[in-house]
Amino acid sequence: MIVMKFGGTSVQDASAISQLVEIVKARPGSRLVVVSALSKVTDGLLKVAQLCEQGDLPGAEKQVDELRLRHLHVGRELGLSAMQIEPIEKWFQQLRHLAASLAALGEVSPRSKDLLASFGELSSSCLVHGAFIQRGVNAAWADSRKLVATDSEFMSAQVDWEKTAANVQAQLLPLLQEQVVVAQGFIAADPKGHTTTLGRGGSDFSGAIYGATLKAEKVEIWTDVNGILSTDPRVVPNAKTIRQVHFLEAAEMAYFGAKVLHPATIYPALKQKIPVWVLNSKNPADSGTEITFDQNSPAGVRGIAFKNNITVVNIHSSRMLGAHGFLKSVFDVFARHKLSVDLISTSEVNVSLTLDPNSDMDALQRAKAELNAFADVEITSGRAMISVIGRGIRDTAGLAAKIFTEIKNINVQMISMGASELNISFVVTSDQSVETVQRLHQALIP
Ligand code: ADP
Ligand code: ASP
Ligand code: MG
């Protein structure tokens, strides 16, 4: 049995969905197909949330209708019957009602946002299911909210593995013996049955959750590039496919910003030792990237990842000179405000740290107010974190010298090296990130 996850561009229109059907048909055995929303639809649904918050009902209705028409158009182009279109009309009717109530209130809670966002995957999965039937494939549709169980941390819910495994084994496994099953990525439900989501880009994670709980032979992540590339192809157009990448390297690439994989994707598969492949639905003949457990996979620089628009926080407290517990006090504050820290560099009374672009800036202001009780705090935005990634690079003689010589005229603000054997990371201003990545790619990737 295999899990095949298709991202937004792999279901963006009728021709992409037809291609998806062909790709799935070409795979023998039991197949679970996990789909994202059509490309840009989740953004569109979050726009609906924003319009509802502003109390702009006509705006929200217009946006909902545009999304509906796009889905109906794709359905028509796929040749779906009126009966097959019906569930899609039903989702959009629910969405319209929801938007009307939210716009009347002028308030959208995280719980409502998740419900709004779920209509993207609910609708795309119906289109894909219809396309399978239309093309003679015996297929069933499954609701991921009945399968993937999470807590109630809306917009970034945590998986209840035991419950999910029980649901999957009881409900999904029997279906998969007989049919191709189409389910949604990204969405799940909490113990009360309320819709939750796994965070933006979370459909990859859904694929891995299903892979692990089904003990699949492999998980295939189908996207719009030939696998995991040595860096973002939008910055370096000739970035190369990494044909084999170690699990730890893939996780590090994802965590440090390579958008091709959601950072949580790797661990469930790793726990069960399930191979993961990243493949191109626009070019299925390409062999893509294999993520392996092979301890003998070669050491050295594998890729360069980066995150733009990160925030750097400098914390200084001369009062803590000679006193112990400074770092603990600082990190307690960040933990209390649920701010997750990427890079850290410290000296006795100074701490510099970086926060992800998605960090809650209001929470940061609250954290700053608390830190001000014992330290001066300086917040700098508009920075980028660049990470050179590969196994064993900590122990590669001369690599740091090579990196920093290559970018010697670029002002490097913070360096973190040696904490993990897998990466050397540092901070530059956002406007220099492209040049930094391009130069390093040229110098380090053969
Ligand atoms: P999907 O909708 O299939 O999940 P995403 O847009 O989330 O696709 O991820 C694929 C995109 O990630 C690629 O089109 C590419 O522009 C971008 N990307 C960034 N870094 C990398 C990388 N190192 N390797 C491959 N793609 C990358
Ligand atoms: N549709 C969701 C998003 O755009 C999940 C995904 O595509 O992975 O974030
Ligand atoms: Mg993605």
Report which bound ligand comes closest to the CA of 10: 1
Residue 370 has what pLDDT? 95
47-51 average pLDDT score: 98
225 lines ligand 1 (CB under 6 A): yes
CB atoms within 10 A of CB 131: 25
Residue 363 has what pLDDT? 96
Model confidence at 253, in pLDDT bands (50, 70, 90)? very high
254-267 average pLDDT score: 93
Q: How far is the CA of 85 from the centre of ligand 1 (A)?
A: 30
7 lines ligand 1 (CB under 6 A): yes
Residue 421 has what pLDDT? 86
Residue 405 has what pLDDT? 95
Model confidence at 348, in pLDDT bands (50, 70, 90)? confident
Residue 321 has what pLDDT? 63
Above 80 in pLDDT, residue 356? yes
Domain boundaries along the sequence of the chain: 2-223, 303-444
What pLDDT digit, counting tens, does each position of 303-343 carry?
999 999 999 999 998 776 666 788 888 999 999 999 989 99
Q: How far is the CA of 158 from the centre of ligand 3 (A)?
A: 18
Q: Does the 303-444 domain belong in CATH 3.40.1360.10?
A: no
Domain 303-444 in the same topology as domain 2-223: no
Residue 129 has what pLDDT? 98
> Helices 14-25 and 110-134: crossing angle, nearest 10°?
70
- Which pairs with CB-CB distance under 8 Å and at least 24 residues apart come from 95-101? 95/45, 95/48, 95/64, 95/67, 95/68, 95/119, 96/61, 96/64, 99/48, 99/51, 99/52, 99/57, 99/60, 99/61, 99/64, 100/57, 100/60, 100/61
What pLDDT digit, counting tens, does each position of 166-191 carry?
999 999 999 999 999 999 999 999 99
Residue 112 has what pLDDT? 98
8 lines ligand 2 (CB under 6 A): yes
Residue 320 has what pLDDT? 64
Q: Using an 8 Å Cβ cutoff, are 277 and 5 in contact?
A: no
What pLDDT digit, counting tens, does each position of 398-433 carry?
999 999 999 999 999 999 887 788 999 999 999 999
Above 90 in pLDDT, residue 294? no
Q: How much is the pTM?
A: 0.95
Model confidence at 106, in pLDDT bands (50, 70, 90)? very high
Residue 9 has what pLDDT? 97
Q: How far is the CA of 95 from the centre of ligand 1 (A)?
A: 29
Question: Quick one: what percent of the chain has pLDDT higher than 70?
Answer: 99
Testing ligand 1's pocket by substitution, the residue of 11, 17, 228, 259 carrying the most ligand atoms inside 8 A of its CB is: 259
Above 80 in pLDDT, residue 247? yes
* Atom number of ligand 1 nearest to Cα 258: 20
Residue 322 has what pLDDT? 62
HSE at residue 371, side-chain half, CA atoms within 13 A, is 29
Query: Ligand 2 atom 8: the closest Cα is on which residue?
Result: 201
Model confidence at 109, in pLDDT bands (50, 70, 90)? very high
Tell the CATH superfamily of the 2-223 domain. Acetylglutamate kinase-like (3.40.1160.10)
Residue type, 338: K
* Atom number of ligand 1 nearest to Cα 229: 24
Query: What's the mean per-residue pLDDT of the chain?
Result: 95
Testing ligand 1's pocket by substitution, the residue of 222, 260, 276 carrying the most ligand atoms inside 8 A of its CB is: 260
Tell me the C-alpha to C-alpha distance, in Å, between residue 70 and each of 10, 13, 35, 433.
Answer: 15, 9, 17, 36
